[in-house]
Amino acid sequence: MIASELESLLDDVSRHLSARDAGASSVLSLGTTLDAIGDIRQRVELCGAFDSAQAPSEAERRVALECLIRIVHLGGAEFYSAQRTASLFAKILRHDR
Amino acid sequence: MMQILSSLDGRLKAAEELIGEAVAGVRAASVQAEAIGTPLSPDMFPAEFVASIVDLAMPLRYRRPLSTVFMGLTDGELRALLAFVGGYCDPASTLTLPGASLSGAAVEALGDAKQQDRFFSRWVDDPNTRSFFGVTEPGHGTNAHLLSTTLSLDVLSVSGTKRWIGNLTNASTGVLFVRSAPGLLGIRAVLLDLPTVGADVVPLDMTGMRTAGLGELRLNDVTIGGNDVLGSHLPASRRGLWGMTQTFLRMRMQVASMALGAGWALLEEVSGASPSKLDPRSEELAVRGSALARMVWRCAGETENDGVDVRSSLCKAACVTWATDIAIYAGASSIGNRALVNKLVRDVVGLEFMEGVGAKQRQIIATDWLRQRGVRKDVRAG
Protein backbone atom coordinates (compact mmCIF):
# COMPACT_ATOMS: atom_id res chain seq x y z
CA MET A 1 0.00 0.00 0.00
CA ILE A 2 1.58 3.25 -1.18
CA ALA A 3 0.02 5.51 1.45
CA SER A 4 1.15 3.43 4.40
CA GLU A 5 4.66 3.08 2.94
CA LEU A 6 4.90 6.85 2.42
CA GLU A 7 3.68 7.40 5.97
CA SER A 8 6.30 4.98 7.27
CA LEU A 9 9.06 6.74 5.29
CA LEU A 10 7.89 10.15 6.58
CA ASP A 11 7.97 8.70 10.09
CA ASP A 12 11.59 7.64 9.58
CA VAL A 13 12.54 11.06 8.17
CA SER A 14 10.90 12.82 11.12
CA ARG A 15 12.72 10.63 13.61
CA HIS A 16 15.98 11.14 11.73
CA LEU A 17 15.61 14.93 11.84
CA SER A 18 14.55 14.87 15.49
CA ALA A 19 17.47 12.72 16.51
CA ARG A 20 19.91 14.88 14.61
CA ASP A 21 18.97 18.37 15.67
CA ALA A 22 16.11 18.12 18.12
CA GLY A 23 13.55 18.54 15.37
CA ALA A 24 15.32 20.71 12.85
CA SER A 25 17.67 19.87 10.02
CA SER A 26 20.95 21.75 9.83
CA VAL A 27 19.46 24.14 7.28
CA LEU A 28 15.82 24.38 8.30
CA SER A 29 14.57 25.96 11.51
CA LEU A 30 12.28 23.92 13.77
CA GLY A 31 9.24 25.89 12.55
CA THR A 32 10.08 25.31 8.91
CA THR A 33 10.70 21.62 9.53
CA LEU A 34 7.36 21.20 11.29
CA ASP A 35 5.63 23.07 8.46
CA ALA A 36 7.23 20.75 5.89
CA ILE A 37 6.30 17.61 7.82
CA GLY A 38 2.71 18.86 8.25
CA ASP A 39 2.44 19.71 4.57
CA ILE A 40 3.67 16.26 3.52
CA ARG A 41 1.49 14.54 6.10
CA GLN A 42 -1.70 15.97 4.61
CA ARG A 43 -0.54 14.89 1.14
CA VAL A 44 0.09 11.35 2.42
CA GLU A 45 -3.52 11.24 3.53
CA LEU A 46 -4.60 12.03 -0.02
CA CYS A 47 -2.56 9.11 -1.32
CA GLY A 48 -5.10 6.74 0.17
CA ALA A 49 -7.00 7.27 -3.06
CA PHE A 50 -4.02 5.83 -4.93
CA ASP A 51 -4.33 2.61 -2.98
CA SER A 52 -8.08 2.26 -3.26
CA ALA A 53 -8.42 2.97 -6.97
CA GLN A 54 -8.61 0.02 -9.38
CA ALA A 55 -6.50 1.92 -11.88
CA PRO A 56 -4.85 4.99 -10.34
CA SER A 57 -5.39 8.13 -12.36
CA GLU A 58 -2.56 10.39 -13.49
CA ALA A 59 -3.58 12.90 -10.82
CA GLU A 60 -3.41 10.25 -8.10
CA ARG A 61 0.03 9.12 -9.22
CA ARG A 62 1.14 12.74 -9.27
CA VAL A 63 0.11 13.28 -5.66
CA ALA A 64 1.98 10.14 -4.61
CA LEU A 65 5.14 11.00 -6.56
CA GLU A 66 5.20 14.59 -5.30
CA CYS A 67 4.74 13.31 -1.80
CA LEU A 68 7.63 10.87 -2.13
CA ILE A 69 9.98 13.48 -3.60
CA ARG A 70 9.13 15.95 -0.82
CA ILE A 71 9.89 13.33 1.81
CA VAL A 72 13.23 12.45 0.20
CA HIS A 73 14.24 16.10 -0.16
CA LEU A 74 13.34 16.79 3.47
CA GLY A 75 15.18 13.71 4.70
CA GLY A 76 18.36 14.38 2.74
CA ALA A 77 20.82 12.19 0.90
CA GLU A 78 20.46 9.40 3.49
CA PHE A 79 16.97 8.79 2.16
CA TYR A 80 17.93 9.22 -1.48
CA SER A 81 20.23 6.23 -1.11
CA ALA A 82 17.79 4.09 0.90
CA GLN A 83 16.55 0.85 -0.65
CA ARG A 84 12.96 1.49 0.44
CA THR A 85 12.99 4.83 -1.38
CA ALA A 86 14.07 3.08 -4.58
CA SER A 87 11.31 0.55 -4.08
CA LEU A 88 8.68 3.29 -3.69
CA PHE A 89 9.88 5.08 -6.80
CA ALA A 90 9.64 1.82 -8.70
CA LYS A 91 6.11 1.21 -7.50
CA ILE A 92 4.83 4.68 -8.37
CA LEU A 93 6.67 5.12 -11.66
CA ARG A 94 5.73 1.67 -12.88
CA HIS A 95 2.18 2.26 -11.72
CA ASP A 96 2.21 -0.79 -9.43
CA ARG A 97 0.08 -0.84 -6.33
CA MET B 1 15.15 18.77 -31.38
CA MET B 2 16.88 21.03 -28.92
CA GLN B 3 16.10 24.41 -30.52
CA ILE B 4 16.07 25.97 -27.09
CA LEU B 5 19.81 26.64 -27.47
CA SER B 6 19.80 28.40 -30.84
CA SER B 7 16.73 30.37 -29.81
CA LEU B 8 18.76 31.69 -26.86
CA ASP B 9 21.85 32.65 -28.78
CA GLY B 10 22.79 32.18 -32.44
CA ARG B 11 26.34 31.24 -31.40
CA LEU B 12 24.97 27.97 -30.01
CA LYS B 13 23.76 26.62 -33.35
CA ALA B 14 26.86 24.46 -34.02
CA ALA B 15 26.78 23.01 -30.50
CA GLU B 16 23.08 22.28 -30.87
CA GLU B 17 23.70 20.32 -34.06
CA LEU B 18 26.63 18.41 -32.54
CA ILE B 19 24.61 17.31 -29.52
CA GLY B 20 21.47 16.68 -31.52
CA GLU B 21 23.30 13.97 -33.45
CA ALA B 22 24.63 12.27 -30.31
CA VAL B 23 21.85 12.54 -27.76
CA ALA B 24 19.80 9.49 -28.69
CA GLY B 25 22.84 7.22 -28.55
CA VAL B 26 24.00 8.62 -25.21
CA ARG B 27 20.57 8.19 -23.64
CA ALA B 28 20.09 4.64 -24.90
CA ALA B 29 23.54 3.67 -23.63
CA SER B 30 22.88 5.38 -20.29
CA VAL B 31 19.70 3.43 -19.68
CA GLN B 32 21.57 0.25 -20.50
CA ALA B 33 24.53 1.22 -18.30
CA GLU B 34 22.21 1.78 -15.35
CA ALA B 35 20.45 -1.53 -15.91
CA ILE B 36 23.68 -3.53 -15.89
CA GLY B 37 25.39 -1.37 -13.26
CA THR B 38 28.39 -0.13 -15.23
CA PRO B 39 29.59 3.42 -15.86
CA LEU B 40 28.94 4.91 -19.28
CA SER B 41 32.00 5.17 -21.51
CA PRO B 42 33.02 8.79 -22.24
CA ASP B 43 33.29 7.70 -25.89
CA MET B 44 29.49 7.79 -26.10
CA PHE B 45 29.60 11.60 -25.79
CA PRO B 46 30.94 13.78 -28.64
CA ALA B 47 34.74 14.11 -28.27
CA GLU B 48 34.55 17.92 -28.45
CA PHE B 49 32.14 17.92 -25.49
CA VAL B 50 34.34 15.70 -23.29
CA ALA B 51 37.53 17.60 -24.20
CA SER B 52 35.92 20.92 -23.31
CA ILE B 53 34.72 19.59 -19.95
CA VAL B 54 38.27 18.44 -19.15
CA ASP B 55 39.92 21.67 -20.28
CA LEU B 56 37.47 24.07 -18.68
CA ALA B 57 38.17 22.63 -15.24
CA MET B 58 41.77 23.81 -15.47
CA PRO B 59 43.51 27.19 -15.58
CA LEU B 60 44.04 28.56 -19.08
CA ARG B 61 47.73 27.60 -19.22
CA TYR B 62 46.92 23.86 -19.13
CA ARG B 63 44.17 23.87 -21.76
CA ARG B 64 44.25 22.61 -25.34
CA PRO B 65 42.90 24.72 -28.21
CA LEU B 66 39.13 25.05 -27.92
CA SER B 67 36.93 23.21 -30.41
CA THR B 68 35.53 25.48 -33.11
CA VAL B 69 32.06 24.34 -32.06
CA PHE B 70 32.39 26.31 -28.83
CA MET B 71 34.49 29.25 -29.99
CA GLY B 72 33.41 32.76 -29.07
CA LEU B 73 31.92 31.82 -25.71
CA THR B 74 33.21 33.04 -22.34
CA ASP B 75 34.22 30.47 -19.72
CA GLY B 76 31.01 31.15 -17.80
CA GLU B 77 28.87 30.67 -20.90
CA LEU B 78 30.71 27.53 -21.93
CA ARG B 79 30.39 26.01 -18.44
CA ALA B 80 26.64 26.69 -18.50
CA LEU B 81 26.31 25.25 -22.01
CA LEU B 82 28.24 22.06 -21.20
CA ALA B 83 26.23 21.51 -18.01
CA PHE B 84 22.96 22.01 -19.91
CA VAL B 85 24.03 19.54 -22.59
CA GLY B 86 25.15 17.04 -19.95
CA GLY B 87 21.81 17.29 -18.16
CA TYR B 88 19.97 16.99 -21.45
CA CYS B 89 21.87 13.84 -22.47
CA ASP B 90 22.25 12.14 -19.09
CA PRO B 91 22.99 14.07 -15.87
CA ALA B 92 24.31 11.07 -13.93
CA SER B 93 26.80 9.90 -16.54
CA THR B 94 27.99 13.46 -17.17
CA LEU B 95 29.19 13.50 -13.57
CA THR B 96 31.50 10.56 -14.28
CA LEU B 97 33.29 12.17 -17.20
CA PRO B 98 37.04 12.79 -16.91
CA GLY B 99 38.31 16.09 -15.59
CA ALA B 100 39.40 17.98 -12.51
CA SER B 101 35.80 19.12 -11.97
CA LEU B 102 35.12 20.55 -8.48
CA SER B 103 38.60 19.61 -7.29
CA GLY B 104 40.02 21.74 -10.07
CA ALA B 105 38.23 24.81 -8.72
CA ALA B 106 39.47 24.02 -5.20
CA VAL B 107 43.08 23.55 -6.29
CA GLU B 108 42.91 26.77 -8.31
CA ALA B 109 41.69 28.58 -5.19
CA LEU B 110 43.94 26.94 -2.60
CA GLY B 111 46.97 25.40 -4.30
CA ASP B 112 50.34 27.09 -4.66
CA ALA B 113 52.08 27.11 -8.07
CA LYS B 114 53.81 23.75 -7.52
CA GLN B 115 50.66 22.05 -6.27
CA GLN B 116 48.64 23.39 -9.18
CA ASP B 117 51.25 22.19 -11.65
CA ARG B 118 51.42 18.75 -10.07
CA PHE B 119 47.63 18.41 -9.98
CA PHE B 120 46.66 19.77 -13.40
CA SER B 121 49.58 18.13 -15.23
CA ARG B 122 47.77 14.84 -14.75
CA TRP B 123 45.24 15.86 -17.39
CA VAL B 124 47.95 17.10 -19.72
CA ASP B 125 49.50 13.62 -19.46
CA ASP B 126 46.22 11.67 -19.42
CA PRO B 127 43.00 13.55 -20.26
CA ASN B 128 40.96 10.52 -19.16
CA THR B 129 41.87 10.99 -15.48
CA ARG B 130 38.86 11.19 -13.15
CA SER B 131 38.71 13.12 -9.88
CA PHE B 132 36.60 13.23 -6.72
CA PHE B 133 35.70 16.09 -4.37
CA GLY B 134 35.50 14.90 -0.77
CA VAL B 135 33.40 17.17 1.43
CA THR B 136 30.09 15.49 2.34
CA GLU B 137 29.96 13.34 5.46
CA PRO B 138 27.33 10.99 6.89
CA GLY B 139 24.90 12.62 9.30
CA HIS B 140 25.66 16.25 8.55
CA GLY B 141 26.26 16.57 4.80
CA THR B 142 28.33 19.63 3.90
CA ASN B 143 27.82 21.45 7.21
CA ALA B 144 31.33 22.81 7.78
CA HIS B 145 30.75 23.31 11.51
CA LEU B 146 30.30 19.55 11.95
CA LEU B 147 32.98 18.35 9.54
CA SER B 148 34.70 15.53 11.39
CA THR B 149 37.28 13.90 9.09
CA THR B 150 40.53 14.75 10.81
CA LEU B 151 43.95 15.80 9.61
CA SER B 152 46.79 15.32 12.03
CA LEU B 153 49.40 17.91 11.09
CA ASP B 154 51.91 16.26 13.46
CA VAL B 155 52.02 12.87 11.77
CA LEU B 156 50.39 13.96 8.49
CA SER B 157 47.54 11.47 8.33
CA VAL B 158 43.79 11.69 7.72
CA SER B 159 40.97 9.62 9.22
CA GLY B 160 37.18 9.70 8.85
CA THR B 161 34.38 8.96 6.41
CA LYS B 162 33.12 10.84 3.35
CA ARG B 163 29.87 9.79 1.68
CA TRP B 164 27.94 10.52 -1.53
CA ILE B 165 31.12 11.47 -3.36
CA GLY B 166 30.49 11.65 -7.11
CA ASN B 167 32.81 9.79 -9.51
CA LEU B 168 34.64 8.32 -6.50
CA THR B 169 34.48 4.78 -7.82
CA ASN B 170 36.34 5.86 -10.99
CA ALA B 171 38.65 8.53 -9.56
CA SER B 172 42.41 8.34 -9.15
CA THR B 173 42.89 11.72 -7.48
CA GLY B 174 40.97 14.46 -5.72
CA VAL B 175 40.68 16.97 -2.93
CA LEU B 176 39.59 16.10 0.58
CA PHE B 177 38.33 18.64 3.14
CA VAL B 178 39.41 17.80 6.65
CA ARG B 179 39.63 19.27 10.14
CA SER B 180 43.04 20.04 11.62
CA ALA B 181 41.74 22.04 14.61
CA PRO B 182 38.39 23.09 16.17
CA GLY B 183 36.41 25.90 14.51
CA LEU B 184 35.95 26.97 10.92
CA LEU B 185 39.56 28.13 10.59
CA GLY B 186 40.64 24.60 11.43
CA ILE B 187 39.29 23.29 8.11
CA ARG B 188 41.95 22.42 5.55
CA ALA B 189 42.09 20.77 2.15
CA VAL B 190 44.49 18.04 1.09
CA LEU B 191 45.31 16.31 -2.19
CA LEU B 192 44.77 12.57 -2.14
CA ASP B 193 45.56 9.97 -4.79
CA LEU B 194 43.68 6.67 -4.99
CA PRO B 195 44.13 3.84 -4.39
CA THR B 196 46.24 4.26 -1.29
CA VAL B 197 46.85 2.31 1.89
CA GLY B 198 44.13 2.90 4.51
CA ALA B 199 41.56 4.33 2.07
CA ASP B 200 38.60 2.11 1.16
CA VAL B 201 36.18 3.06 -1.62
CA VAL B 202 32.69 1.59 -1.17
CA PRO B 203 30.18 2.04 -4.03
CA LEU B 204 26.73 3.27 -2.95
CA ASP B 205 23.46 1.81 -4.16
CA MET B 206 21.40 4.89 -5.00
CA THR B 207 17.78 5.51 -5.95
CA GLY B 208 18.86 7.82 -8.75
CA MET B 209 22.18 9.05 -10.15
CA ARG B 210 23.10 5.38 -10.22
CA THR B 211 25.66 5.81 -12.98
CA ALA B 212 27.35 8.77 -11.28
CA GLY B 213 29.95 6.62 -9.52
CA LEU B 214 28.80 7.75 -6.06
CA GLY B 215 30.69 6.18 -3.22
CA GLU B 216 31.77 6.28 0.39
CA LEU B 217 35.43 6.91 1.23
CA ARG B 218 36.60 5.35 4.48
CA LEU B 219 39.93 6.73 5.66
CA ASN B 220 41.90 5.07 8.40
CA ASP B 221 45.19 6.81 9.23
CA VAL B 222 45.94 7.51 5.58
CA THR B 223 49.40 8.99 5.26
CA ILE B 224 49.81 12.16 3.20
CA GLY B 225 52.83 14.23 2.27
CA GLY B 226 53.52 17.72 3.56
CA ASN B 227 53.14 19.08 0.05
CA ASP B 228 49.65 17.51 -0.18
CA VAL B 229 48.23 20.08 2.27
CA LEU B 230 46.72 22.96 0.29
CA GLY B 231 46.64 26.61 1.25
CA SER B 232 49.69 26.80 3.51
CA HIS B 233 50.88 29.87 1.56
CA LEU B 234 47.58 31.68 2.19
CA PRO B 235 46.33 33.66 5.22
CA ALA B 236 44.64 31.46 7.85
CA SER B 237 41.19 32.75 6.83
CA ARG B 238 41.65 31.52 3.25
CA ARG B 239 43.23 28.12 3.73
CA GLY B 240 40.23 25.79 3.81
CA LEU B 241 36.58 26.77 4.14
CA TRP B 242 37.00 29.72 1.77
CA GLY B 243 38.17 27.37 -0.99
CA MET B 244 35.23 25.04 -0.36
CA THR B 245 32.80 27.95 -0.57
CA GLN B 246 34.37 29.29 -3.77
CA THR B 247 34.08 25.85 -5.35
CA PHE B 248 30.42 25.45 -4.45
CA LEU B 249 29.62 28.96 -5.69
CA ARG B 250 31.21 28.30 -9.06
CA MET B 251 29.50 24.94 -9.49
CA ARG B 252 26.05 26.15 -8.40
CA MET B 253 25.35 27.77 -11.76
CA GLN B 254 26.35 24.55 -13.47
CA VAL B 255 23.90 22.52 -11.39
CA ALA B 256 21.23 25.04 -12.42
CA SER B 257 22.11 24.47 -16.08
CA MET B 258 22.18 20.72 -15.62
CA ALA B 259 18.70 20.81 -14.04
CA LEU B 260 17.54 22.89 -16.97
CA GLY B 261 18.88 20.34 -19.45
CA ALA B 262 17.41 17.34 -17.64
CA GLY B 263 14.05 19.07 -17.23
CA TRP B 264 14.03 19.99 -20.89
CA ALA B 265 14.71 16.38 -21.85
CA LEU B 266 11.76 15.22 -19.74
CA LEU B 267 9.52 17.92 -21.15
CA GLU B 268 10.33 16.82 -24.69
CA GLU B 269 9.53 13.23 -23.78
CA VAL B 270 6.12 14.28 -22.44
CA SER B 271 5.37 16.59 -25.35
CA GLY B 272 6.49 13.94 -27.81
CA ALA B 273 3.87 11.63 -26.39
CA SER B 274 1.14 13.93 -27.69
CA PRO B 275 2.79 16.24 -30.22
CA SER B 276 -0.45 17.42 -31.78
CA LYS B 277 -1.79 18.80 -28.55
CA LEU B 278 0.31 20.41 -25.83
CA ASP B 279 -1.80 20.22 -22.69
CA PRO B 280 -2.01 23.30 -20.45
CA ARG B 281 0.38 21.87 -17.85
CA SER B 282 3.06 21.06 -20.48
CA GLU B 283 2.61 24.51 -21.96
CA GLU B 284 3.02 26.20 -18.59
CA LEU B 285 6.16 24.17 -17.85
CA ALA B 286 7.58 24.98 -21.30
CA VAL B 287 7.00 28.72 -20.80
CA ARG B 288 8.68 28.58 -17.39
CA GLY B 289 11.58 26.59 -18.86
CA SER B 290 12.15 29.13 -21.64
CA ALA B 291 12.20 31.97 -19.13
CA LEU B 292 14.64 30.08 -16.91
CA ALA B 293 16.91 29.32 -19.87
CA ARG B 294 17.08 33.03 -20.69
CA MET B 295 17.80 33.86 -17.03
CA VAL B 296 20.59 31.27 -16.73
CA TRP B 297 22.17 32.27 -20.04
CA ARG B 298 22.11 35.95 -19.11
CA CYS B 299 23.64 35.28 -15.68
CA ALA B 300 26.29 32.95 -17.12
CA GLY B 301 27.31 35.69 -19.55
CA GLU B 302 27.21 38.58 -17.10
CA THR B 303 28.94 37.18 -14.08
CA GLU B 304 32.69 37.52 -14.46
CA ASN B 305 33.51 34.73 -12.03
CA ASP B 306 31.17 32.11 -13.40
CA GLY B 307 28.16 33.14 -11.38
CA VAL B 308 29.80 33.76 -8.04
CA ASP B 309 27.04 35.82 -6.50
CA VAL B 310 23.45 35.51 -5.38
CA ARG B 311 22.31 34.99 -8.96
CA SER B 312 23.79 31.48 -8.92
CA SER B 313 21.55 30.67 -5.93
CA LEU B 314 18.55 32.15 -7.73
CA CYS B 315 19.26 30.07 -10.82
CA LYS B 316 19.94 26.87 -8.90
CA ALA B 317 16.80 27.10 -6.74
CA ALA B 318 14.52 28.06 -9.64
CA CYS B 319 15.86 25.48 -12.11
CA VAL B 320 15.82 22.56 -9.67
CA THR B 321 12.28 23.44 -8.57
CA TRP B 322 11.19 23.56 -12.21
CA ALA B 323 12.94 20.30 -13.11
CA THR B 324 11.36 18.62 -10.08
CA ASP B 325 7.93 19.83 -11.16
CA ILE B 326 8.51 18.31 -14.59
CA ALA B 327 9.78 15.07 -13.02
CA ILE B 328 6.53 14.79 -11.07
CA TYR B 329 4.46 15.60 -14.14
CA ALA B 330 6.32 13.22 -16.46
CA GLY B 331 6.68 10.44 -13.91
CA ALA B 332 2.97 10.38 -13.19
CA SER B 333 1.99 10.57 -16.86
CA SER B 334 1.29 7.67 -19.16
CA ILE B 335 4.97 7.58 -20.17
CA GLY B 336 6.24 7.37 -16.59
CA ASN B 337 7.04 3.69 -16.99
CA ARG B 338 9.40 4.21 -19.94
CA ALA B 339 12.99 3.39 -19.00
CA LEU B 340 14.42 6.78 -19.98
CA VAL B 341 11.71 8.79 -18.21
CA ASN B 342 11.96 6.57 -15.15
CA LYS B 343 15.72 7.14 -15.01
CA LEU B 344 15.57 10.90 -15.59
CA VAL B 345 12.89 11.35 -12.91
CA ARG B 346 15.05 9.59 -10.31
CA ASP B 347 18.17 11.48 -11.42
CA VAL B 348 16.46 14.88 -11.24
CA VAL B 349 15.46 14.21 -7.62
CA GLY B 350 19.18 14.04 -6.74
CA LEU B 351 19.99 17.50 -8.14
CA GLU B 352 18.39 19.03 -5.04
CA PHE B 353 21.30 17.76 -2.91
CA MET B 354 24.08 19.17 -5.08
CA GLU B 355 25.88 22.41 -4.13
CA GLY B 356 23.36 23.37 -1.45
CA VAL B 357 19.74 22.32 -0.99
CA GLY B 358 16.84 24.57 -1.97
CA ALA B 359 16.22 25.74 1.60
CA LYS B 360 19.82 26.97 1.79
CA GLN B 361 19.54 28.77 -1.57
CA ARG B 362 16.32 30.48 -0.50
CA GLN B 363 18.01 31.68 2.70
CA ILE B 364 20.87 33.17 0.65
CA ILE B 365 18.41 34.85 -1.73
CA ALA B 366 16.32 36.29 1.10
CA THR B 367 19.35 37.47 3.06
CA ASP B 368 20.77 39.27 0.04
CA TRP B 369 17.43 40.85 -0.79
CA LEU B 370 16.82 42.08 2.77
CA ARG B 371 20.35 43.44 3.09
CA GLN B 372 20.15 45.31 -0.20
CA ARG B 373 17.05 47.08 0.99
CA GLY B 374 18.38 47.76 4.46
CA VAL B 375 15.40 45.92 5.95
CA ARG B 376 17.61 43.76 8.14
CA LYS B 377 21.30 44.41 8.58
CA ASP B 378 21.81 41.67 11.13
CA VAL B 379 20.26 38.87 9.10
CA ARG B 380 22.64 36.07 8.10
CA ALA B 381 22.21 32.96 6.03
CA GLY B 382 22.66 29.80 8.12
**Could you tell me which of B25, B26, B81, B12 has the C-alpha nearest to residue B53?**
B81
Q: Nearest-CA distance from A52 to chain B in Å?
A: 17
Q: What is the ipTM of this complex?
A: 0.90
> In angstroms, rounded to a whole number, what is the distance separating the alpha carbons of residues A28 and A23?
9
Burial class (CB in 10 A: 0-12, 13-18, 19+), B82: buried
A-chain residues within 8 Å CB-CB of B146? 26
**Closest CA relative to residue B91, chosen from B265, B291, B253, B250:** B265
Report the residue of chain A nearest B356, measured CA to CA. A27
pLDDT < 50 stretches in chain B: 306-307, 381-382
- What does the alpha-carbon distance between residue B159 and residue B192 come to, in Å, rounded to a whole number? 12
Sign of CA dihedral A79, A81, A86, A89: positive
Least CB-CB distance to B336: which of A81, A86, A93?
Answer: A93
The pLDDT, as a whole number, for residue A21 is 60
> Which pLDDT score is estimated for A27?
65
pLDDT confidence of residue A1: 82
CB B193 within 8 A of CB B238: no
CA atoms B62, B65, B70, B75: torsion sign: positive
Which among B214, B329, B352 has the least Cβ separation from residue A73? Answer: B352
pTM summary value = 0.93
CA distances from B158 to B77, B94, B132, B173, B180 (A): 37, 30, 16, 15, 9
Amino acid at B311: R
Q: pLDDT at position A23, please?
A: 41
- Give A37→chain B minimum CA distance, Å: 14
Q: Which of B334, B353, B363 sits opposite A80 (nearest CB)?
A: B353
pLDDT at A32 (0 to 100): 84
Q: pLDDT tens digits for A57-88?
A: 888 889 999 999 999 999 999 999 888 999 99
CA distance A24 to A47: 26
Model pLDDT for residues A24-47, shown as the tens digit of each residue: 445 677 888 889 999 999 999 888
